[in-house]
A = this chain, B = another copy of it.
Amino acid sequence: MSTPGAGGGPARLDGPVEVVGTGLLGTSIALACRRAGLEVLLTDVAEEHLRTASQLGAGRPRRPEDAPQLVVVAVPPDHLGAVIERVLGEGGRDDAVVTDVGSVKTGPLEAVAAHPRSHRYVGSHPMAGSERSGPLAASASLFDGRPWAITPHSTSDPDAVELVERLVEVCGGARVWLTPQEHDRAVARTSHVPHLLASLAAGRLAEAPEHHLQLSGQGVRDVTRVAAGDPALYGQILSANAEAVLGLLGEVRDQLQQVIDVVGSGDREALVRVLEAGVAGTRAIPGKHGGPPRPMASLWVQVPDHPGELARLFADAVASEVNIEDLRIDHDLAREVGQVELVVAADRVAHLHTSLESRGWVTHG
């Protein structure tokens, strides 16, 4: 076989790479491949996207005689299966390996399972960029350090899997291997069901008297943030992962009914158990850099809301030799000042407090 990796060595990604669908994800992958010096061929039914992506330096439109080594399908969820099936071994793509970057993995696989060249298909899914769209939002650095699932199926060729691994490396992603079925259950839990619950919480706000919303704090802003995502896109994603989503939604419905029952009956212990399970869930999310969660603590600092003050705060934090692990700005409702929350290692917070106070900052722990 004239496949990549034939001869027993590891597969090499030499290109050309064809990107089908020059939206945010496709164009970003194309730019990352160009950054690595690979030849990139672009295909899109939308002429305007194709032109924009080409002008951004993401590659050139594919000609019928071009023979890509790897085809990356980056079309909307509704079209994934059909497009993957079409490009698998289609004229000029002979023995090309095909991958896709869709948010759901079992559906596309079903669409190609009976295809004579399904062994050349390996699904994948980068965890990046789903809230924005279009080639103009693209960046070669979009995937840097982000999880990128690789989801081989039972008959995927090993060298095809390796070639997709090379693609993820070129894009700077952090590889996570899962079966297509596991992947879909995982994203239902970590993405799709949280998104739906955020939408339900946000939906209640749309109906609220305006003056009630004056009491909105940082909590509700956090909970509902993802619900601002494109309804058409998320409608496709949720529909494509209906089975896994429905399984979890059934659990959520049962537990919601339980919460309604125990709040109604005043069974405080049962209510607290539900809340404790939530605390355990927040602790189960992996920590920074994939390591175990470290104990963190927060310090709040008052910062006047004009250019320069945040820079001065950071300069002072640097002088304190404490690394800022996370940060959020909580703007005041009534005046031109913000509360900045600095999250640092728990054993460094007292030092940071003392150091910033000595530099004139008003803080509280």
Residues of A within 8 A of B (CB): 28, 127-128, 132, 136-139, 141-142, 144-147, 149, 173-174, 176, 178, 182-183, 185-187, 189-191, 193-206, 208-217, 219-229, 231-232, 234-236, 238-239, 242, 245-246, 248-253, 255-257, 259-260, 263-264, 266, 268, 271-272, 274-286, 288-290, 298, 300, 302, 305-308, 310-311, 314-315, 317-318, 321-329, 331-337, 339, 362-365
Cα–Cα, bound, A249→B128 (Å): 32
The answer to whether A238 touches B271 (Cβ under 8 A) is: yes
The answer to whether B252 touches A200 (Cβ under 8 A) is: yes
The answer to whether B220 touches A285 (Cβ under 8 A) is: yes
The answer to whether B208 touches A284 (Cβ under 8 A) is: yes
Q: Which residue of B lies closest to A285 (CB)?
A: B216
Cα–Cα, bound, A306→B315 (Å): 13
The answer to whether A260 touches B253 (Cβ under 8 A) is: yes
Given A203-B255, A223-B197, A314-B310, residue A208 in contact with residue B231 (CB < 8 A): no
Residues of B with C-beta under 8 A to A308: 318
Given A202-B281, A281-B206, residue A289 in contact with residue B191 (CB < 8 A): no
The answer to whether A279 touches B364 (Cβ under 8 A) is: no
Residues of B with C-beta under 8 A to A364: 28, 137-139, 141-142
Given A190-B216, A311-B315, residue A144 in contact with residue B332 (CB < 8 A): yes
Residues of B with C-beta under 8 A to A197: 197-198, 200-201, 223
The answer to whether B127 touches A215 (Cβ under 8 A) is: yes
Could you list 17 further interchain pairs (A-B, Cβ under 8 angstroms) beyond the known A149-B215, A190-B215? A128-B217, A141-B302, A145-B333, A145-B339, A194-B220, A199-B274, A200-B278, A202-B279, A203-B280, A208-B284, A222-B223, A223-B223, A224-B281, A227-B275, A310-B314, A327-B327, A327-B328
Residues of B with C-beta under 8 A to A204: 189, 193, 248, 251-252, 281
When all copies of this chain in the complex are counted, the total is: 2
Residues of B with C-beta under 8 A to A137: 364-365
- List 14 A–B pairs whose Cβ atoms lie within 8 Å, in order of A's numbering: A147-B333, A182-B209, A189-B208, A190-B212, A194-B219, A202-B279, A204-B248, A227-B279, A236-B268, A238-B263, A246-B263, A307-B317, A310-B314, A326-B328
Out of B127, B201, B232, B329, name the residue touching A326 (CB < 8 Å).
B329
Cα–Cα, bound, A326→B329 (Å): 6
Q: Which residue of B lies closest to A280 (CB)?
A: B206
The answer to whether B318 touches A311 (Cβ under 8 A) is: yes
Residues of B with C-beta under 8 A to A202: 277-282
Q: Nearest Cβ distance between residue A266 and chain B, in whole angstroms?
A: 6
Given A205-B189, A242-B263, residue A332 in contact with residue B145 (CB < 8 A): yes
Given A214-B147, A224-B282, A300-B139, residue A274 in contact with residue B242 (CB < 8 A): no
Q: Which residue of B lies closest to A312 (CB)?
A: B314
The answer to whether A282 touches B205 (Cβ under 8 A) is: yes
4 cross-chain pairs, A with B, having the tightest CB-CB distances, nearest first: A145-B332, A139-B364, A199-B278, A202-B281
Given A242-B266, A331-B288, residue A194 in contact with residue B203 (CB < 8 A): no
